[in-house]
């Protein structure tokens, strides 16, 4: 696992957007797994700026979703499908046909989960999966005690996650209890995992993810099992890392050609 400490969220976004651009230059039709929440927004902005400036051609990129609420009416502005179309797909100049995600409104939800896992595999697998982290250490919507081998499935949100996400809705009551999420086993199949965490509120979850034991209690700690995982944190989110100085020195000495 590589840990990169950046001064702030904007620099983290720029660094990750450049890694995505480099991937698209090597593989123009790369399948990019994207995350929702506030944290990755600087990444999407930086990548869209690169596309607008002609620094990278994203016209053949494919975008896939990490997770989804269950039961929101089709087209609800806070469904993750709507969010990804609005924040990622449209700014990159892509159409909805470049996008895939699980169907949170399906009648048979488990069948929709299985179909999504199959679709990801048939698409050749995810090349780079962006991740945020919940204050309780969740990735996607894999809440604490999710199986580290889990596949895409239905989960029930913790009260803490519902409260964290209530800011996107008119009230806490409107935050769904149920979600579909790529499983931890599904996420671990992506070729490169890139987690961005910013702000003091994530410091404890980041420390447990990077320096704690691999544990279902902290789902993000499963990144320790992945051969190519990058954790990008700002100073505030890095504030509880015991090895922060080592991570800084390692990154400062990193050969430029290596990329993330």
Ligand X SMILES: N[C@@H]1[C@@H](O)[C@H](O)[C@@H](COP(=O)(O)O)O[C@@H]1O
Catalytic residues: 67, 136, 138, 143
The nearer residue to ligand X, 134 or 176, going by C-beta atoms, is 134
CB 81 within 8 A of CB 72: no
Least distance from ligand X to the Cβ atom of residue 59, Å = 26
- In a 3-state reduction of DSSP, which class is residue 50? helix
37 scored as a contact of ligand X (CB under 6 A): yes
83 scored as a contact of ligand X (CB under 6 A): no
Least distance from ligand X to the Cβ atom of residue 201, Å = 8
The nearer residue to ligand X, 35 or 184, going by C-beta atoms, is 35
42 scored as a contact of ligand X (CB under 6 A): no
Chain residues 119-148 in contact with ligand X, contact rule CB under 6 A? 132-134, 140-141
Binding segment (CB under 6 A) for ligand X, from list 32-40, 98-106, 148-156, 239-247: 32-40
- Alpha-carbon distance of 157 to 154, in angstroms, equals 10
CB 152 within 8 A of CB 116: yes
Tell me how many residues contact ligand X (CB under 6 A).
14
- Alpha-carbon distance of 71 to 221, in angstroms, equals 29
Least distance from ligand X to the Cβ atom of residue 210, Å = 16
Instruction: Please give the distance of CA 183 from its chain centroid, rounded to a whole number.
Output: 13
183 scored as a contact of ligand X (CB under 6 A): no
Phi, psi angle pair for 68, to nearest 5°? -160, 150
44 scored as a contact of ligand X (CB under 6 A): no
- The closest alpha carbon to 137, from 216, 69, 22, 70, belongs to 216
CB 210 within 8 A of CB 97: no
The nearer residue to ligand X, 140 or 185, going by C-beta atoms, is 140
Strand order from edge to edge, sheet including 31-34: 2-6, 229-234, 192-197, 128-131, 31-34, 62-65, 99-100
Least distance from ligand X to the Cβ atom of residue 251, Å = 22
Helices (H), the chain: 9-26, 41-52, 80-84, 109-122, 159-165, 184-187, 203-211, 244-252
Candidates 8, 26, 28, 38: give the one binding ligand X (CB under 6 A).
38
66 scored as a contact of ligand X (CB under 6 A): yes
Binding segment (CB under 6 A) for ligand X, from list 30-38, 109-117, 212-220, 227-235: 30-38
Least distance from ligand X to the Cβ atom of residue 56, Å = 24
Candidates 14, 18, 67, 87: give the one binding ligand X (CB under 6 A).
67
CB 143 within 8 A of CB 161: yes
205 scored as a contact of ligand X (CB under 6 A): no
233 scored as a contact of ligand X (CB under 6 A): no
Binding site for ligand X (CB under 6 A): 35-39, 66-67, 132-134, 140-141, 161, 165
């Amino acid at each position: 696992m590589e840990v990169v400490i950046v001064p702030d969220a904007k620099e983290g976004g720029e660094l990750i957007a450049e890694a995505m651009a480099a991937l698209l230059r090597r593989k123009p039709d790369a399948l990019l797994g994207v995350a929702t929440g506030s944290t990755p927004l600087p990444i999407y902005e930086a990548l869209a700026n690169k596309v607008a400036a002609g620094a990278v051609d994203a016209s053949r990129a494919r975008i896939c979703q990490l997770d989804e609420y269950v039961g929101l009416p089709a087209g609800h502005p806070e469904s993750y499908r709507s969010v990804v179309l609005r924040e990622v797909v449209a700014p990159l100049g892509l159409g909805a046909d470049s996008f895939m995600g699980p169907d949170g409104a399906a009648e048979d939800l488990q069948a929709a989960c299985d179909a999504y896992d199959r679709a990801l595999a048939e698409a050749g697998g995810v090349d780079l999966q962006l991740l945020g982290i919940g204050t309780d250490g969740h990735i996607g919507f894999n809440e604490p005690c999710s199986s580290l081998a889990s596949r895409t499935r239905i989960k029930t949100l913790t009260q803490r996650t519902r409260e964290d996400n209530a800011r996107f809705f008119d009230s806490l009551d409107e935050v769904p209890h149920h979600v579909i999420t790529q499983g931890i086993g599904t996420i671990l199949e992506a070729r490169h995992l890139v987690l961005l965490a910013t702000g003091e509120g994530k410091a404890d979850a980041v420390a447990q993810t990077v320096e704690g034991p691999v544990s279902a209690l902290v789902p993000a700690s499963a990144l320790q099992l992945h051969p190519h995982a990058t954790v990008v944190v700002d100073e505030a989110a890095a504030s509880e890392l015991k090895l922060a100085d080592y991570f800084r020195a390692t990154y400062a000495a990193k050969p430029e050609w290596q990329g993330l």
